Structure 1
Amino acid sequence: MGFNMTKTEKLAIIDVKAELKLLPMVLHAVREVSQKYGLEEKYARDLELATEEACHNVIEHAYPDNEKGYYQVEIHKEPTKFVITVKDQGIPFNLNLLTDEQPTDLGIKIMRAYTDEINSKYLGKEGKEVELVKYLPFEPIEEPEHPIEEELLAPKSEEISLRIMRPDETVALARCIYKVYGYTYPHEDIYYPQKFSSLIESGLVTSCVTVNSKDDVIGHLGVFLENPDDLVGESALAAVDSRYRGRGIFPKMKNLMMEHVQKKGLLGLYSRAVTVHVASQKSNVKMGAKETGFVLAHSPPTAIFKKMEASSGSNRRTVALFYVPVAPDPGHNVFLPLKHGDILKKIYNHGELKRTFNQSSNEGLSFHSQIHSHLLPEMSSAFLRVNKFGIDFLDELKLQVNDLCYRHVELIVLDLPLSDPATALLCPEIEDLGFFFSGLMPEYLDGDALRLQYLNNVIFNPEDVQVYSEFGKDIFSYVVEEWKSKNYY
């Protein structure tokens, strides 16, 4: 694609017989490899201790009665974290114990104490896996010694300029974000300059900044990729210093990023516009972006927008989904669920996206599903994307939903590939689990994605939502009716 991206690095894969005498070799590898690739000694030791408990659990309990068995330990590094995955094909273990709020098992307590995140799942006939995550340590931006005072508008004669952001400007960016949002912006990465620099260097984030005559960052817009191979990015983290509002900075930054990512091979940008006011929705429409859906109760009510009026409240806030192409539409074959076919065709037509609508067929499925899960604890949200359907899909989805609800995750977003006929066939059964229609994500899953969502004991009031355009109001009404059909209210 052209981005200088660093994909997830698989550093080591160890297949080992489930015997205690071989465990020191595994632990030595975890410690040495993680330190060689940038993890400080004390954090490498934490990861080693957690891995010891996970492996010991397999050795002691996965293969009873002297049954010979093996397990696999995989070490890989991502831009902001190290991950150890322990897989085995032994006797099933109650993975829900790993997420108990008050675990009684000492080994689980140790794993929880020495990691930042634990993920686990069943793999059908391939057994089960436990994923131990240790975030790379980054220093947060320091609290200003004195509160940043409200300032008058900057002179309109002052020159400002736009350019692509450098990785060494993340401290200046964090200060700009602080002026706009305080410490309330939902994605915490922005408050860790070193961490955000790492994301830029990896290619998962590309940003542009607006700077003033003193070279201070007074505006920012980023494009975020979840995976290096994604063909669409999210336009997010838009901020303009209140002293420089009214100069059309946001449209200029959006134009710059659209041109930049088009040269890098992306097909389009999607964005999420807040609905506590219509300003950001209006800006998206003026830039040629089209509404494709709404995520109800998307984020906690923490973000503030200085110098902008917004209704207050304690409920989660809804966002409008927008998409704008930056390259010629390649066209796709899609399989639409019968229930949502009309609204999806309206969205395609409004967005001027050419699609061929195919009839679903009951094609054979592989055994294993592939569901990618991205948990955002600070937002009490989880984003699931289906990369492949298998005959175990509904069972696997039920397990993940039950686990997330048990952990009090309030919002679950599920993206299904419309290029796969299984999406149309399985959609009714997925919605029987409590999911409901949220919108369309063009070019999101090697084609397009149908977005569904699930709310877990969340208060939502449609009257709190402000929608800018008439087409947006039509989509919002459809989503609300689908929400009501689940007896959430």
Structure 2
Amino acid sequence: MKNKLDKRILIAGTLSELTIPAQLNYLPVVVNLSKQIAEWFGFPEEKLREIEHIIEESFVSVVENSFELDELGVVKFKISYLPGKLIFTFEDKGLPVDVEKLELEERSALGILLIKHLADEFKFVNLGKEGKRLEVVKNLPDEEIQHLLSDFAPVEPEPAPKDEELKFGMLKSQDALELARLAYRAYGYTYASVAYLPEKLKEILEYGYLEAVTVRNSKDEFIANLGLFYEKPGARVADSGMAIVDPRYRGHNLFKRMKMQAIEHGKSIGLYGLYSESVTIHPYTQKGNITLGAKETGLLIAFTGERVTFKKINDEGLSQRQAVMLYYLKINEEPKRTVYIPAVYEDIMTRIYSDLKLNRTIQTTKSFKNIVDMSGETALELSFKPDLNSAVITIEKYGEDIVPILRLRIKELCMKKIDTIYLELPLSEPATMYLVSQFRELGFFFGGLIPEFRDGDILKMQYLNNIYIDTSKIMIASENGRSILDFIVADRESLA
């Protein structure tokens, strides 16, 4: 930190509180206070400018959308600290506001979009009679986290003995700091930010969004981790990710052994299956999935940014955005469902479903004769992943305005230089098989199939914002995976 703060203040959490009139001439006060405190925490100039934009857009949005022109309102502004992040909060008791509607209004849409893009977390809370709260979060810079972790960085470690006795278990909240150190040993500071935030890891563990298989060596050192992420607590499919292995233990077959532990755990708690995204900078993780019986369901060709490095594998980083192969491993019987497949993807999706052996009835435009209801307004969710510079648009309900809304969203995201945009479509909705052709006209192409993701299967499409991908650099571990890559390349080229 550039400025030493009393630890009692950090533990208490509140760094500053202001109660100010809801008038724009107070904007410099709020902005300057935010930048000054952020500077104490070591944010570089580029990030300070981002914080300035976030605070500016947030305060303007609150003032302009919460109060009438002649109304003298009040805004409570607060800056708080939690381990690994600063939280900027705006509270008021003005007019009720629907953020989704604000995002559709030209006057406010770009401001909300900018906040979501620049913030690491964005939350809008309706407090009922107490008003409402807008909360934005910026994670601390890597350099600050380095102070916590750098003392534990091994220098050129010797490979561990192959016959060492290892202990497998499940991640506990007290392991969070050791997991952060493990991420550093394996990836430096280039991995997804949650791996470096012990307090955030503890929180998602506590609330049921994460479980993980862990491995300790004979000295009780934390040497490997395989995360099981859940879309929501109680979900029946886990996203198997955050696979991290200490460089000393590469070649010990730990990924496969952890995955076997995860399978047994999943069977015991009634999961339908495990979903995973395997990197393509090397074939090892893909091969591990395949030997366990997982099946390829798609490929996202520009998923990971160029910053990610794998110590002992590619210390220089990636030369382009990196692809991930999608896998699904069925471990328990899932519900019987009907899925509606678009004609343009009928062959590949039918083949994927056949490989997965899911309990599905497939409908196509040839077999489906009912009328599709698309009345009313579209409902969708837009989320950002700043560490990947990507966005995900999830369709919750199709409306007659779906195409113009998507066109607007794509334009806004491209203007903000988002590299990749994903579109998640419910295969339980007949409209999906009719609308995909229009989504392809907007620039989306095939990504993959994810079973039982949100109480049903989804079709994931992908959009690249003026970035070049050399597909010859994508390492594929199987012929089936190669055929999926070839299909995706052809599908993208057919849009031109």
Q: TM-score range by the shorter chain?
A: 0.7 to 0.9
Q: RMSD between aligned alpha carbons?
A: 3.6
2:387 counterpart SS class: helix
Is 1:160 equivalent to 2:169 in the alignment? Answer: no
| Alpha-carbon separation, structure 2, partners of 1:290 and 1:100 | 36
Which residue number in structure 2 is paired with residue 443 of structure 1?
Answer: 452
Classify 1:446/1:83 alpha carbon distance in 2 versus 1 (closer, same or farther; 3 Å): farther
Classify 1:474/1:180 alpha carbon distance in 2 versus 1 (closer, same or farther; 3 Å): same
How much has 1:52 moved relative to structure 2? Answer: 5.7
| Alpha-carbon separation, structure 1, partners of 2:172 and 2:413 | 37
Q: Is the contact made by 1:381 and 1:411 (CA closer than 8 Å) also made in structure 2?
A: yes
Which residue number in structure 1 is paired with residue 493 of structure 2?
Answer: 484
Is 1:57 equivalent to 2:64 in the alignment? Answer: yes
2:352 counterpart SS class: helix
Which residue number in structure 2 is paired with residue 238 of structure 1?
Answer: 243
Amino acid at match of 2:217: N
| Alpha-carbon separation, structure 1, partners of 2:90 and 2:272 | 34
Amino acid at match of 1:479: I
How much has 1:56 moved relative to structure 2? Answer: 2.0
How much has 1:93 moved relative to structure 2? Answer: 4.6
Equivalences for 1:168-187 in 2 at 5 Å?
168-185=174-191, 187=192
Unpaired stretches in structure 2, ≥5 consecutive residues: 1-20, 24-51, 72-82, 125-131
1:220 counterpart SS class: strand
Amino acid at match of 2:64: N
Is 1:352 equivalent to 2:352 in the alignment? Answer: no
Amino acid at match of 2:469: F
Q: Is the contact made by 2:225 and 2:242 (CA closer than 8 Å) also made in structure 1?
A: yes
Equivalences for 1:180-199 in 2 at 5 Å?
180-185=186-191, 187-199=192-204
Q: Is the contact made by 1:360 and 1:421 (CA closer than 8 Å) also made in structure 2?
A: no
| Alpha-carbon separation, structure 2, partners of 1:414 and 1:339 | 16
How much has 1:224 moved relative to structure 2? Answer: 1.0
How much has 1:266 moved relative to structure 2? Answer: 2.3
Classify 1:278/1:146 alpha carbon distance in 2 versus 1 (closer, same or farther; 3 Å): closer
Is 1:205 equivalent to 2:210 in the alignment? Answer: yes
Q: Is the contact made by 1:348 and 1:354 (CA closer than 8 Å) also made in structure 2?
A: no
Classify 1:251/1:84 alpha carbon distance in 2 versus 1 (closer, same or farther; 3 Å): farther
| Alpha-carbon separation, structure 1, partners of 2:113 and 2:411 | 13
Which residue number in structure 2 is paired with residue 373 of structure 1?
Answer: 382
Q: Is the contact made by 1:276 and 1:311 (CA closer than 8 Å) also made in structure 2?
A: no
Is 1:134 equivalent to 2:137 in the alignment? Answer: yes
2:63 counterpart SS class: helix
Q: Is the contact made by 2:194 and 2:200 (CA closer than 8 Å) also made in structure 1?
A: yes
Classify 1:224/1:146 alpha carbon distance in 2 versus 1 (closer, same or farther; 3 Å): closer
Classify 1:112/1:256 alpha carbon distance in 2 versus 1 (closer, same or farther; 3 Å): closer
Q: Is the contact made by 2:382 and 2:394 (CA closer than 8 Å) also made in structure 1?
A: yes
Amino acid at match of 1:56: V
Which residue number in structure 2 is paired with residue 402 of structure 1?
Answer: 411
| Alpha-carbon separation, structure 2, partners of 1:178 and 1:137 | 16
Classify 1:333/1:146 alpha carbon distance in 2 versus 1 (closer, same or farther; 3 Å): closer
Q: Is the contact made by 1:118 and 1:130 (CA closer than 8 Å) also made in structure 2?
A: no
Q: Is the contact made by 1:232 and 1:267 (CA closer than 8 Å) also made in structure 2?
A: yes
| Alpha-carbon separation, structure 2, partners of 1:485 and 1:83 | 47
Which residue number in structure 1 is paired with residue 108 of structure 2?
Answer: 95
Classify 1:307/1:458 alpha carbon distance in 2 versus 1 (closer, same or farther; 3 Å): same
How much has 1:194 moved relative to structure 2? Answer: 1.3
Equivalences for 1:74-85 in 2 at 5 Å?
none
| Alpha-carbon separation, structure 1, partners of 2:268 and 2:457 | 21
Classify 1:53/1:313 alpha carbon distance in 2 versus 1 (closer, same or farther; 3 Å): closer
| Alpha-carbon separation, structure 2, partners of 1:310 and 1:134 | 30
Which residue number in structure 1 is paired with residue 424 of structure 2?
Answer: 415
Count of residue pairs the alignment pairs up: 414
How much has 1:261 moved relative to structure 2? Answer: 2.8
| Alpha-carbon separation, structure 1, partners of 2:139 and 2:324 | 31
Classify 1:97/1:154 alpha carbon distance in 2 versus 1 (closer, same or farther; 3 Å): closer
1:379 counterpart SS class: coil
Q: Is the contact made by 2:231 and 2:454 (CA closer than 8 Å) also made in structure 1?
A: no
Classify 1:178/1:486 alpha carbon distance in 2 versus 1 (closer, same or farther; 3 Å): same
| Alpha-carbon separation, structure 1, partners of 2:463 and 2:55 | 36
How much has 1:53 moved relative to structure 2? Answer: 4.1
TM score, norm. by length of structure 2:
0.75
1:328 counterpart SS class: coil
Unpaired stretches in structure 1, ≥5 consecutive residues: 1-18, 22-45, 68-78, 102-107, 121-128
How much has 1:378 moved relative to structure 2? Answer: 1.7
TM score, norm. by length of structure 1:
0.76
Classify 1:92/1:302 alpha carbon distance in 2 versus 1 (closer, same or farther; 3 Å): closer
Classify 1:98/1:360 alpha carbon distance in 2 versus 1 (closer, same or farther; 3 Å): farther
Q: Is the contact made by 2:255 and 2:285 (CA closer than 8 Å) also made in structure 1?
A: no
CA deviations on 1:23-45 (whole Å, 9 max, x unpaired) are: xxxxxxxxxxxxxxxxxxxxxxx
Q: Is the contact made by 1:417 and 1:446 (CA closer than 8 Å) also made in structure 2?
A: no
Q: Is the contact made by 1:368 and 1:390 (CA closer than 8 Å) also made in structure 2?
A: yes
> Larger deviation: 152-161 or 328-337?
152-161
| Alpha-carbon separation, structure 2, partners of 1:256 and 1:474 | 30
Which residue number in structure 2 is paired with residue 288 of structure 1?
Answer: 293
How much has 1:243 moved relative to structure 2? Answer: 1.9
Which residue number in structure 1 is paired with residue 10 of structure 2?
Answer: none
Q: Is the contact made by 1:98 and 1:118 (CA closer than 8 Å) also made in structure 2?
A: no
How much has 1:308 moved relative to structure 2? Answer: 3.1
CA deviations on 1:15-70 (whole Å, 9 max, x unpaired) are: xxxx979xxxxxxxxxxxxxxxxxxxxxxxx999986643320255xx68x99xxx
Classify 1:472/1:248 alpha carbon distance in 2 versus 1 (closer, same or farther; 3 Å): same
2:258 counterpart SS class: helix
Amino acid at match of 1:374: S
Is 1:462 equivalent to 2:465 in the alignment? Answer: no
| Alpha-carbon separation, structure 2, partners of 1:312 and 1:401 | 29
| Alpha-carbon separation, structure 2, partners of 1:455 and 1:199 | 31
Amino acid at match of 1:396: I
> Larger deviation: 138-147 or 317-326?
138-147
- Identical aligned residues as a percent: 33
Which residue number in structure 2 is paired with residue 75 of structure 1?
Answer: none
Q: Is the contact made by 2:282 and 2:475 (CA closer than 8 Å) also made in structure 1?
A: yes
1:251 counterpart SS class: helix
How much has 1:259 moved relative to structure 2? Answer: 2.0
How much has 1:133 moved relative to structure 2? Answer: 2.5
Q: Is the contact made by 1:384 and 1:413 (CA closer than 8 Å) also made in structure 2?
A: yes
| Alpha-carbon separation, structure 2, partners of 1:387 and 1:48 | 30
| Alpha-carbon separation, structure 2, partners of 1:112 and 1:449 | 25
Amino acid at match of 1:385: T
CA deviations on 1:429-463 (whole Å, 9 max, x unpaired) are: 11111100111111113211111000001111111
How much has 1:211 moved relative to structure 2? Answer: 0.4
1:391 counterpart SS class: coil
How much has 1:84 moved relative to structure 2? Answer: 7.3
Is 1:300 equivalent to 2:305 in the alignment? Answer: yes
Q: Is the contact made by 2:186 and 2:244 (CA closer than 8 Å) also made in structure 1?
A: yes
Which residue number in structure 2 is paired with residue 227 of structure 1?
Answer: 232
Amino acid at match of 1:57: E
Classify 1:116/1:169 alpha carbon distance in 2 versus 1 (closer, same or farther; 3 Å): closer
